Amino acid sequence: MVWTTYKEKIKRLSMRIVEAQRPIRILDAIKWDNSIEAELKKNKYRALPKVGASYYKKTSLGFDAEKKLEELFDISKDIKLTLGLQDPLCQLMLTIVEEYSDVVNMLQARGTKKFWEISKKLYGSPKDTFYDEKNTIFSLGQVLYNILNVIDDEMLGPKYPEKYSAQECVEILNKRFKNYFGDNSVQAKLSDGILADASAGGDTIKIKEGAKFSSRDIDILEVHEGWVHVGTTQNGNQQHVAKWLSKGPPRCAATQEGLAVIMEIFTFRTYPKRARQINDRILGIDKAEEGANFLDLIEFYRTEGYDEETCVNNARRVCRGGMVEGGAPFTKDISYCRGFIENYNFMRVAIRAGHAHLIPFLFSGKLNVDDVPLLYQKHKEGIVDFPLFLPPQFKDLNGVAVWMSFSSFLNRLDLKKIQEHYDRLFNTHL
């Protein structure tokens, strides 16, 4: 038998995981075709779309589910035999493989309540608590709703008209990506097959053909889709041993989306309306868990002032894969706000504990924030590479360190007392 090093074992197992997950495409497996939207318009959004288990069975997964589960089981068995259960990377890899197995089972359950049950296991639920075991994701949504809905956007700054075409957006982004990534390896391209205005892949950002963009929209796409989503994929691809970091199972979703939101905030490119849109996804998912159907969700988004197309798209994001009758949504979209809180708290605690050197490893690939201490340890062993592409705020952590230092103290202040003080001043002089 040929002797193999520990690094070789990790790399081989990693490559098997990467290859096994390749045909698993969650969003492709749960998307609705154009005929569904046409039927909705025809009946003027008065009847539920005919999207159930039988509908999804017409959409091929692109792989044999049973064979894929067998393949993943074999990989798990080999991980245990090769590394041993005491190895922390063994535990991490087993967790990743188990998640891909759960994804396969979830996709097999499209259009049923079981889809939602597995979605909750993978992505969480608005009813989940943060690490303080007191505050839920839904309670965060309620707080943000009450704050964001009293902000007058007109008082905050100039308007940003949507004056750029999709093609102009692509051209601007490609110039910026060349500066950030150093060559033409990352590209923005037009696409007519996506639900959102933009979607990130491994080295490509798809821009929805026909959409219009403001300069602020383009700024956000640069950091959200480019620096974070594509950047972490590129960093994962650059790993010479830890190849599993190039692909993200559901456990990575909150960390990824949370990082993207953090970059929007750290670069002062976000705005309240966008924050409301992200937060309203939490509220919509909670309503669906409580029984709201697809039409109820459209009506909820109407009451929040969204245009008709956005109302339908928001409701579809919540219901896709689950049950349009209510009670079983796709919970992935809680990831944005959940991930922001988890990443932000990680950075605060890391700086407070004297471990600021861990923070850049959030960008080393597709990972969960809780993996970072282990990844840093494996970096010292030569298994995990330092991220090649880092936003400037994380290349030089001085500003982040000061921000987080003040943030740690703010929690001690009694906001209610502060609110009362300034309310008196506002009521007196305004």
pLDDT in tens, 29-61: 999 998 998 899 899 889 999 999 999 999 999
361 confidence band (pLDDT: 50, 70, 90) = very high
Query: Residue 318: which residues within 8 A CB-CB, separation 6 or more?
Result: 281, 284, 285, 288, 297, 329, 330, 333
Instruction: Encode pLDDT of 135-173 as tens digits.
Output: 999 999 999 999 999 998 888 999 999 999 999 999 999
If you write DSSP's letter for every residue of 262-330 in order, what string do you get? HHHHHTT---HHHHHHHHHHHHHHHHHHTT--HHHHHHHHHHTT--HHHHHHHHHHHHTTSBTTTTB--
In the chain, where the domains are located: 142-396, 403-430
> Residues 207-249: pLDDT tens digits?
998 899 999 999 999 999 999 999 999 999 999 999 999 999 9
Q: Looking at residue 32, what is its pLDDT?
A: 93
Please tell me the distance from the alpha carbon of residue 111 to that of residue 324, in angstroms, as a whole number: 8
pTM for this model (two decimals): 0.93
Answer with the residue of higher pLDDT: 2 or 110: 110
Q: How far apart are the first and last CA of the chain?
A: 82
Where b means 16+ CB within 10 Å and e means fewer, 285-315 reads bbbbbeebbbbbbbebbeebebeeeebbbbb
242-289 confidence digits (pLDDT tens): 999 999 999 999 999 999 999 999 999 999 999 999 999 999 999 999
The span from the CA of 350 to the CA of 217, in Å, is 31
Q: Are the C-beta atoms of 286 and 126 separated by less than 8 Å? A: yes
Rounded-to-integer distance, Cα 381 and Cα 401, Å: 27
Residue 170's SS3 state is: helix
SS3 123: helix
